[in-house]
Amino acid sequence: MDKIIIRGGNRLSGTVPVSGAKNAALTLLPCALLTEEPVTLRNLPRLADIDGFQHLLNQFGVSTSIAGARPEDFGRVMTLQATRLTSTVAPYDLVRKMRASILVLGPLLARAGEATVSLPGGCAIGNRPIDLHLKALEAFGAQIELAAGYVRAIAPDGGLPGGDYSFPIVSVGATENALMAAVLARGTSTLHNAAREPEIVDLCNLLVAMGAQIEGIGTSDLTIHGVNRLHGATYMVMPDRIEAGSYACAAAITGGDIILAGARAEDMAATIQALRDANVLVEQVRGGLRIASDGQLRPVTLSTAPYPGLATDMQAQLMAMLCLANGSSVLTETIFENRYMHVPELNRMGAHIETKGRTAIVHGVSKLHGAEVMATDLRASMSLVIAGLAAEGESQVHRLYHLDRGYERLEEKFALIGADVERVGGD
């Protein structure tokens, strides 16, 4: 199993390209199920999760082709075409590897009138139940059956009639599934307290490009007027705001000065504010963002929240950065339970972090030291890399497959900005 070796101490400088957003791409890919015409996605990141979702779509008879793929390029152009659906079943063996697989439920139901998808279960950072997905689909007229670890959704003859649903709590995945189900409904559907993440906006924009009629894009109240059919489209995946924020934390902890090429400030307001509060310079430049730090980090108090609040996916990276702040920071995780599993690993590197329930107190230390550490989830993995970049000596991060799920060719990008990061084969 591969691992990453990091020799810390280098000040990062230069330009790093920001890839297409993983969380957006995994939502855009299932849109191909909604039409028999080709859907082309540009700036698609090269990630294990993207490959896994492509394999899942192939299971339904979707053809996929990659144009102009060169090993040296970041990003890909993929064309997907679901001329005829050959299956509406997402089996356990595929779904268990990637929770985003549940996002085929809505589009399969809308296009084929039925869908059978394995229940995804929990994950390392806590349970993420799909009850809100199912309640929204029921509100739109679907019949839901649960049996033997699978959920089966069935539309009435003639398709979903549409309906109204108000989310009791904000749910990104449930909003996405409901949107994709509603665009082909016979009537008008409304979603209240819908998620507003930039990735939701990206999904809406692709659906509109395919002929959907959606009002309220970017707000918590969405109105979807169902149409008879959708057509193909070519669409550019938005830049990855979490990847951009992760490299920003890496630059900050090393006292670096980098340009995040392609990053969009409007998608990252909460992360940018957290960085500025910690005495990190963030400024818009032509084509991206500049991140600069003199290494004198201030402690901050942060709490994760649904967008436009601070993304839970940035918590671990900011925590790693704050390990070297001059004082104690307080982080509160409100989205997922069990999302502090990186804390013991950071403490192995000399950090001083205490946790109680959903709160973590990060007491800044003068230095970190290299150690062998174990990644527990995607963002936790990046937090360990960030810490390793500033640590004295050599660090080794094991379970690299977590990083490969969400960071496109990480070691190559870090090499562009002067980090000493090497991928090696594990035992």
Catalytically annotated residues: 123
Angle between helices 105-112 and 131-139 (to 10 degrees): 30
132 is in an annotated binding site: yes
Angle between helices 241-253 and 378-390 (to 10 degrees): 20
Contact 38, 81 (CB under 8 A): yes
Contact 230, 203 (CB under 8 A): no
Contact 312, 342 (CB under 8 A): no
Contact 350, 370 (CB under 8 A): no
353 is in an annotated binding site: no
Burial 27-50 (b: 16+ CB within 10 A, else e): bbbbbbbbbbbbbbbebbbbbbbb
Contact 111, 183 (CB under 8 A): no
240 is in an annotated binding site: no
DSSP string, 7-50: E--PPPEEEEEPPBPHHHHHHHGGGGGG-SS-EEEEEE---HHH
Tokens at 110, concatenated: 């809308």
129 is in an annotated binding site: yes
Question: Which residue matches tokens 């069935």?
Answer: 154
76 is in an annotated binding site: no
Instruction: Tell how far CA 164 is from the center of its chain.
Output: 27
Pairing state between β 372-374 and 188-192: unpaired
22 is in an annotated binding site: yes
CA distances for 413 relative to 243, 260, 410, 419, angstroms: 11, 11, 5, 9
Instruction: Tell how far CA 246 is from the center of its chain.
Output: 12
Could you give phi then psi for residue 274, rounded to 5 degrees?
A: -60, -40
Count other C-beta atoms under 10 Å from residue 329's C-beta. 25
The arrangement of strands across the sheet holding 328-332 comes to 301-303, 328-332, 359-363, 352-356
Distance CA 56, CA 60 (A): 7
58 is in an annotated binding site: no
128 is in an annotated binding site: yes
The residue type found at 423 is: R
State the Cα angle at 88 between 174 and 205, rounded to 5°.
45
Residues at the binding site for phosphoenolpyruvate are: 22-23
Going by the annotation, the residues of the binding site are: 22-23, 99, 128-132, 313, 335
Residues annotated within the binding site for UDP-N-acetyl-alpha-D-glucosamine are 99, 128-132, 313, 335
